[in-house]
């Protein structure tokens, strides 16, 4: 499987996703994510949507072209 | 066209010198800019002088995956948006060395200052070299002459206007870069017979978003992921002094976050297309036997070859101006950043303590000139391949330690002075050792990925291990080193910044007529009670007073603190320093926006 477009994609989003997740979890544990304020909730959504947009864009060109 | 461009940028940049009266203006542009202005100017800074040539070459060889290096930063955004930006903004930290002193102590600041200055001054020269190499074949002005001309122009407007001039010229240059890149794409597609013809001329594997996994030593997903996605992207967002100053120039943390989001989700993809599309067009032309481009054309020349064929003379001038813009916008950012680090981390704490702000502003201007002069003076040195390579090795050696030190410092309370020294010194030595003994990289090797990529992976892991081990083996950091400087509730940071409880009630922008009040303290305004209700504001809240209109992006604005409310119907009282920054006569309407 190594060397296939799928493996490459999983490597990028697997390791990168771990870093992203670590950032979100560390922020939450440290209290930097205050879900009580609307602004902070919006930024969590923006971060997740941004990740999904990149993932969808890369997936489109990686698998459907 | 290029001469007109040089003169226009010089005049445009020097014009904004009128808004620079303090060191805060010079380095942080008064912290009043809107997100869209920061984002667009940021694009110009991140597209280097070499970008068009380098990424066109990669895209000609590897296809759409040539954009990979531009589109792998988002993984760092939780750390940056939720952590680093609020920390440095609310603690009023203006440089990485300053953060290191507050978080770890004076020796950590000294180590970081030396590392960052060596890196940035060398980088100015290298940018001059790459710019001259790219432009000289097209203009024929002589490489050194080009370096001198560009350095002099940048030095004049940065010295005059500091960060405001840098942002405003980079805004113009950012638009120019994107327009030129899009023009190349549309002209190129028309040249090869339309979108269908262009798309069909490219093989399927050429359209993949990510390059091969680890088969190509010089360009692979595994290699670029570690070197660019992990080390260099983090360096750009967390360590690059020019970028730090740029985002600290935003009027609020919210605007800084919006600017980063717009940069990464909209402008970076556009910039990636702009710098890569000549390579894609070139590949389509070769496959369709158009433009008499031989199949064995030198990929390093593909940008020039393609643009010469598809652009008419006027448009070709636009492309040349865009190339120049890419260079100037990187160099002006570096000059301002060198001045900021030298004044804040060397001159102010060690060489000339407790002087007036006017004195430090003059010093900042002289240092800007000196940084540009040093960049030119070192041009012949960095024009030699061995020193160019040596600076590359130096950059590779310092990037992982600095990145790991910043991220651990921000995210891990247990990380201490010994940990950061082990990371910076031990990590850099370990990376230098890997140049002498490449066998050290063996446990980290992935397929055929080249050493320069694997070294970033090795460096990040070694620095992380050294930093964690040294911290765990020594005493916990003192609590006063942590407050505000590690991840924590944003409300506490806002309280620290404001000096009182933040007011997070959502209000609207209020419009008030202005009246000059010479009795008011500097930076204080008094608004009528009705305006206070519109803003949901209380006395003591921080506000941004601006001239009406979105178009100035915050140039004609000033931060202030609200005083006691006035009766309804009274004009807003405003001191002379605030009115001067709005550039409006007394009696005109100003907008007031509560920050918190």
Alpha carbon of B490: minimum distance to chain A alpha carbons (Å) = 6
pLDDT at B535: 95
CA angle B363/B369/B373 to nearest 5° reads 135
Q: Which residues of A touch B261 (CB under 8 A)?
A: 46, 50
The predicted structure's pLDDT at residue B467: 97
For residue B188, pLDDT over 80 is answered with yes
- The answer to whether residue B59 scores a pLDDT higher than 90 is yes
Q: What's residue B479's pLDDT? A: 84
CA distance B152 to B408: 39
Tell me: the pLDDT tens digits for B552-565? 888 889 999 999 99
Q: What's the mean pLDDT in B192-211?
A: 93
Residue B388 has pLDDT above 70, yes or no: no
Mutation choice for A interface testing from B78, B84, B449 by most A CBs within 10 A = B78
- The number of C-beta contacts closer than 8 angstroms across A and B is 119
The answer to which of B135-144, B179-188, B386-395, B499-508 has the lowest mean pLDDT is B386-395
From the number of C-beta atoms within 10 Å of its C-beta (0-12, 13-18, 19+), residue B202 rates as: middle
Q: Which residues pair with B144 in a beta bridge?
A: none
Over residues B447-469, mean pLDDT: 94
pLDDT-above-70 percentage for chain A: 100
Helix (H, G, I), strand (E, B) or coil at B524: strand
Q: In angstroms, what separates the C-alpha of A43 from chain B's closest C-alpha?
A: 8
Return the pLDDT at B386.
Answer: 64
- Residue in B63, B209, B232 to test binding to A, most A beta-carbons within 10 Å: B209
**Cα gap B7→B71, rounded to integer Å:** 34
Mean pLDDT across chain B: 89
Partner B contacted by A64 (CB < 8 A): no
Q: Is A58 within 8 Å of B71 when comparing Cβ atoms?
A: yes
Burial level of B105, CB count in 10 A (0-12/13-18/19+)? Answer: middle
Q: Are strands B572-574 and B510-516 parallel, antiparallel or unpaired?
A: parallel
Cβ–Cβ gap A20/B208 under 8 Å? no
pLDDT at B134 > cutoff 80: no
Please say if the pLDDT value at position B434 is more than 90.
Answer: yes
* Chain A residues within an 8 Å CB radius of B209: 57-62
What does the block give as tokens for B239?
């360590």
Confidence bin at A17 (pLDDT 50/70/90):
very high
Round to whole Å and give the CA distance between B594 and B561.
9
Task: Please tell me if residue A10 touches chain B, with a CB cutoff of 8 Å.
Answer: no
Task: Quote the CA–CA distance of B292 and B420 in Å, as a whole number.
Answer: 57
Q: What is the pLDDT of residues B465-508, one digit of tens each?
A: 999 999 999 999 988 888 889 998 888 899 999 999 999 888 99
pLDDT reported for residue B91: 93
Q: What is the dihedral of CA A10, A13, A14, A17, to 10 degrees?
A: -170
pLDDT of residue B145: 87
Name which of B198, B211, B219 is nearest B65 in CA terms.
B211
* pTM as predicted: 0.91
pLDDT band at B162 (very low <50, low <70, confident <90, very high): confident
Mean pLDDT of A9-23: 97
Residue B254 touches partner A, C-beta closer than 8 Å: yes
CB of B398 closer than 8 Å to CB of B136 = no
B24-38, B87-101, B150-164, B198-212: least confidently modelled range: B150-164
In chain B, what residues touch A27 (CB-CB under 8 Å)? 78-79, 82-83, 487
Using CB atoms within 10 A of its CB, is residue B140 exposed (0-12), middle (13-18) or buried (19+)? Answer: exposed
Task: Note which residues in 297-316 of chain B have CB less than 8 A from chain A.
Answer: none
Strand arrangement of the beta sheet that strand B572-574 belongs to = B524-525, B557-562, B542-546, B589-594, B510-516, B572-574
Tokens matching residue B443: 């446990």
The answer, for A32 touching chain B at a CB cutoff of 8 Å, is: yes
User: What are the chain B neighbours of A33 within 8 Å (beta carbons)?
Assistant: 82
> CA angle at residue B483 from B488 to B464, to 5 degrees?
70
| CA dist., res. B327 & res. B317, Å (int) | 16
A28 in contact with B at a CB cutoff of 8 Å? Answer: no
The alpha carbon dihedral of B42, B44, B49, B53 has a sign of positive
Confidence at B61, pLDDT banded by 50, 70, 90:
very high
Of B75, B261, B487, the CB nearest to A26: B487
pLDDT interval class at B452 (50, 70, 90): confident
In terms of DSSP H, where are the helices of B473-528?
Answer: 490-498
- Tokens 């081990």 belong to residue: B469
Answer whether residue B513 shows pLDDT above 90: yes
- What distance in Å separates the CA atoms of residue B101 and residue B240, rounded to the nearest whole number? 17
Nearest CB to B265 within list A5, A7, A50: A50
B208: pLDDT strictly greater than 70: yes
Mean pLDDT of B278-305: 90
Report DSSP state, residue B526: B
pLDDT digits (tens, 9 = 90+) for B16-42: 777 788 888 888 888 989 999 999 888
Of A15, A33, A61, the CB nearest to B208: A61
pLDDT tens-digit map of B565-587: 999 989 999 999 888 888 888 88
DSSP B146-172: HHHHHHHHHHHHHHHHHHHHHHHHHHH
| Helix, coil or strand: residue B561 | strand
- Any CB–CB contact under 8 A between B8 and chain A? no
Indicate if the pLDDT at residue B121 is higher than 90. Answer: no
pLDDT in tens, B324-349: 777 788 888 888 899 999 999 999 98
C-alpha span between B593 and B389 (Å, rounded): 50
Q: Is the pLDDT of residue B49 over 80?
A: no
| CB proximity under 8 Å: B 425-464 to A | 447
Selected residues 59-98 of chain B with any CB under 8 Å from a CB in chain A: 64, 71-72, 74-79, 81-83, 86
Q: Is the dihedral of CA B151, B553, B258, B271 positive or negative?
A: negative
B489 vs A32: CB contact, 8 Å cut-off? yes
Neighbouring CB atoms inside 10 A of B462's CB total 23
B:544-573 residues touching chain A, CB 8 A cutoff: none
């Amino acid at each position: 499987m190594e060397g296939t477009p799928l493996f490459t994609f999983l490597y990028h989003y697997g390791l990168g996703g771990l870093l992203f997740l670590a950032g979100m979890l560390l922020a939450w544990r440290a209290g930097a994510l205050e879900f009580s304020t609307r602004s902070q909730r919006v930024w969590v959504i923006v971060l997740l949507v941004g990740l999904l947009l990149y993932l969808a864009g890369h997936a489109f060109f990686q698998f459907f072209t | 066209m290029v001469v007109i461009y040089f003169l226009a940028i010089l005049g445009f940049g020097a014009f904004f010198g009128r808004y620079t009266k303090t060191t805060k203006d010079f380095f942080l542009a008064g912290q009043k800019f809107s997100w869209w202005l920061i984002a667009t100017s940021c694009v110009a800074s991140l597209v280097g002088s070499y970008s068009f040539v380098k990424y066109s070459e990669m895209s000609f060889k590897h296809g759409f995956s040539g954009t990979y290096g531009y589109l792998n930063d988002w993984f760092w955004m939780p750390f940056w948006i939720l952590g680093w930006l609020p920390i440095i903004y609310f603690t009023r930290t203006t440089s990485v060395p300053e953060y290191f002193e507050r978080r770890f102590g004076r020796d950590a600041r000294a180590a970081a200052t030396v590392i960052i200055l060596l890196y940035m001054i060398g980088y100015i020269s290298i940018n001059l070299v790459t710019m001259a190499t790219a432009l000289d074949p097209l203009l024929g002005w002589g490489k050194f002459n080009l370096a001198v001309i560009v350095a002099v122009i940048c030095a004049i407007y940065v010295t005059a206007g500091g960060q405001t001039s840098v942002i405003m010229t980079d805004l113009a240059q950012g638009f120019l870069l994107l327009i030129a890149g899009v023009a190349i794409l549309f002209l190129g597609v028309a040249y090869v017979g339309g979108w269908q013809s262009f798309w069909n001329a490219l093989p399927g594997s050429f359209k993949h978003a990510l390059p091969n996994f680890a088969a190509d030593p010089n360009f692979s997903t595994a290699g670029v992921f570690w070197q660019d996605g992990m080390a260099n992207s983090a360096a750009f967002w967390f360590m690059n002094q020019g970028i730090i100053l740029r985002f600290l120039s935003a009027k609020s943390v919210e605007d800084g976050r919006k600017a980063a989001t717009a940069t990464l989700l909209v402008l970076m993809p556009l910039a990636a297309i702009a710098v890569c599309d000549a390579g894609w067009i070139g590949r389509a032309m070769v496959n369709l036997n158009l433009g008499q481009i031989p199949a064995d054309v030198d990929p390093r020349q593909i940008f020039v070859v393609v643009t010469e064929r598809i652009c008419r003379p006027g448009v070709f001038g636009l492309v040349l101006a865009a190339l120049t813009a890419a260079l100037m916008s990187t160099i002006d950012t570096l000059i301002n950043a060198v001045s900021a680090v030298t004044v804040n981390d060397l001159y102010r704490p060690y060489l000339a303590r407790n002087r007036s702000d006017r004195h430090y502003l003059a010093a900042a201007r002289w240092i800007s000139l000196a940084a540009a002069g040093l960049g030119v003076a070192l041009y012949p040195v960095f024009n030699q391949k061995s020193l160019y390579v040596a600076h590359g090795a130096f950059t590779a050696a310092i990037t992982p330690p600095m990145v790991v030190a910043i991220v651990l410092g921000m995210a891990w309370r247990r990380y201490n002075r010994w940990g950061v020294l082990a990371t910076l010194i031990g990590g850099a030595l370990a990376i230098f050792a890997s140049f002498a003994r490449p066998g050290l990289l063996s446990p980290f090797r992935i397929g055929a990925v080249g050493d320069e990529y694997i070294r970033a992976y090795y460096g990040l892991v070694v620095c992380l291990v050294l930093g964690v081990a040294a911290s765990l083996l020594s005493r916990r950091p003192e609590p006063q080193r942590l407050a505000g400087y590690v991840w924590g509730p944003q409300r506490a940071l806002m309280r620290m910044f404001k000096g009182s409880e933040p007011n997070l009630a959502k209000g609207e922008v209020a419009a008030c007529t202005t009246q000059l009040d010479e009795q008011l303290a500097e930076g204080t305004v008094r608004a009528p009670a009705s305006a206070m209700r519109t803003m949901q504001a209380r006395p003591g809240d921080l506000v941004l007073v601006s001239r009406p209109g979105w178009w100035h992006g915050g140039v004609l604005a000033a931060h202030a603190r609200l005083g006691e409310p006035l009766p309804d119907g009274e004009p807003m009282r405003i001191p002379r320093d605030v009115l001067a920054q709005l550039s409006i006569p007394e009696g005109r309407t100003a907008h007031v926006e509560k920050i918190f």
